[in-house]
Amino acid sequence: MAGPADISAGRAWPMNYLWTHGPRADPATALTWAMIVLSTAVVVIVTLLVVAGVAVRGNRRLTVAEAPVKDEGDGLAWISIGLVLTVIALAGTLVWTLEALAAIDSPARPPALTLEIIGHEWWWEVRYLGAGPGQSFSTANEIHIPVGVPVRVWLKGADVIHSFWIPALTGKTETIPGRTNLTWLQADRPGVYRGQCTEYCGAQHAHMAAFVIAEPAAAFAAWLRSQEATPAVDPEFAAGQAVFQASCAKCHAVRGTSAHGDKGPDLTHLMSRRTLAAGVVPNDVDGLSGWIANPQALKPGALMPATYLSGPQLARLRAYLESLK
């Protein structure tokens, strides 16, 4: 397994968007900070005005009914001044908003890579659309991109509406069945960036993480080549492959074999992924065994049923899966 399951290596808040790392997100982040400062100032000022008003003007000697009623000063200046200040703040915000929107609408350079990401209940299908027939492939939940270049992402929905979000790199865009949405992202430095589905989509909406893995060009190219390759089946794992074909192939595909299921993730290079089940467990011996044996215990409501395999069958299946490097 490559690296820690949950990255964002060392970041205390891997999902925060107060510090972002790419030109699709950064202009919005600057505006976010400005609006936080402005909003906090407004709240503090209004709170002080209310508290001071009560402290300064409060009448502590008389009951309400006894206190005299007066209509002194029309007080309209408060409304006029307040409105003028509000208009100035709003106008400034509107201009900045439109500028930020224009800045992140599309990348400054043509995208170096185009991906298709499809939201499923409850995982992300990631398709790399190569030039030739052998160069397209599909993986799940982990999105490898080259660092420092814009990547175009077509977003589709397979079942219900999901929403694609990598806080450090891009805001949300829904994946809507029947439509194709467009977004883009760019990571300015290498790293693993966590994201998560943000449109409520049913039982396991909570467990639908996505990871962007931004790598230097060479490392990304190497990863791309390894993913494009169709691994040969090692006869050593034939027994496990038979179990897979009987129990898993209706939903999962492994290229180069007769497993063509497309309901669940493509498992051709399963071992190259860090986590299973969209971030629920690390892809290690325990994680893999536990997930295959009883997915419902880890992710209740997930569409993968328990497989009810015997101990030896499970061991053979796991050995086969562990060969899918």
Partner 1 sequence: MTALESDRIPRTVRVDGDWPGARLEEIWGTAPTLKGWLSCVDHKEIGKHYILTAFAFLILGGLEALAMRLQLAGPERRLLSPEAYNQLFTMHGLSMIFLYAGPVLTGFSNYLWPLLLGSRDMAFPRLNAFSYWVYLAAGLFIYAGFVAGHGPDDGWFNYVPYASRAYDAGINIDIYALGLILLGISTTVGAANFVVTFLQTRAPGMAISRVPILTWGTLTASVANLLAVPSVSLAFFLLWMDRQFGTRFFATAGGQPLLWQHLFWMFGHPWVYVVVLPAMGMVSDALPTFCRRPLVGYTAVALSTVATMALGFGVWVHHMFATGMPSLALSFFSGASLIITLPSAVAVFAWIATIWTGRPVITTAFLFFASMIVLFVIGGVSGFMTAAVPVDWQLTDTYFVVAHIHYVLIGINVFPVVGAIYYWFPKMTGRLLDERLGLWNFWTMFVGFNVGFLPMHLLGLLGMPRRVYTYGHGLGWSGLNLLVTAGSFLFAAGVLLLLVNVVLSLRRGKAAGRDPWGAPTLEWAVPSPPPSYNFAVIPIIASRHPLWEERLGLGGARSKLDEGYLLDRGRETLGTTALDARPNLILEMPEDSLAPLLLALGLVGVFVGALAHAWWVTAVGGVIGLIALIDWLWPRYIHADLEKVGG
How many residues bind partner 1 (CB under 8 A)? The answer is 98
Q: Report DSSP state, residue 205.
A: T
From the list 220, 194, 186, the residue with the least C-alpha distance to 274 is 194
Residue 217 C-beta: closest distance to partner 1, Å = 28
Say how far apart CA 152 and CA 81 lie, in whole Å. 47
Q: Which CB sits closer to partner 1, 78 or 308?
A: 78
Q: Which CB sits closer to partner 1, 103 or 229?
A: 103
Residue 262 C-beta: closest distance to partner 1, Å = 17
Residue 273 C-beta: closest distance to partner 1, Å = 17
Mention every residue, 6+ apart, whose C-beta is less than 8 A from residue 36.
none
Out of 149, 181, 242, 307, the residue judged to bind partner 1 by CB under 8 A: 181
Q: Which CB sits closer to partner 1, 95 or 222?
A: 95
**Secondary-structure breakdown of the chain: helix, strand, coil percentages, each rounded to the nearest 5:** 35, 20, 40
Stretch of 58-66, 139-147, 185-193, 283-291 lying at the interface with partner 1 (CB under 8 A): 58-66
Please check whether residue 139 is in contact with residue 273, taking contact to mean a CB–CB distance below 8 angstroms.
Answer: yes
In 3-state terms, what secondary structure has residue 45?
helix
Structure tokens at 40: 């906090």
Q: Which CB sits closer to partner 1, 33 or 216?
A: 33
Give the number of residues written for the chain.
325
From the list 204, 69, 86, the residue with the least C-alpha distance to 141 is 204
Q: Which CB sits closer to partner 1, 15 or 233?
A: 15
Q: Which CB sits closer to partner 1, 231 or 282?
A: 282
Residues 11-50 that bind partner 1 (CB under 8 A): 12-18, 25, 27-29, 31-32, 35-36, 38-39, 42-43, 46-47, 49-50
Angle between helices 285-293 and 311-322 (to 10 degrees): 130
Position 3 contacts partner 1 (CB under 8 A): no
Q: How many CA atoms, within 13 angstroms, populate the side-chain half-sphere of residue 235?
A: 0
Out of 9, 109, 135, 200, the residue judged to bind partner 1 by CB under 8 A: 200
Position 114 contacts partner 1 (CB under 8 A): no
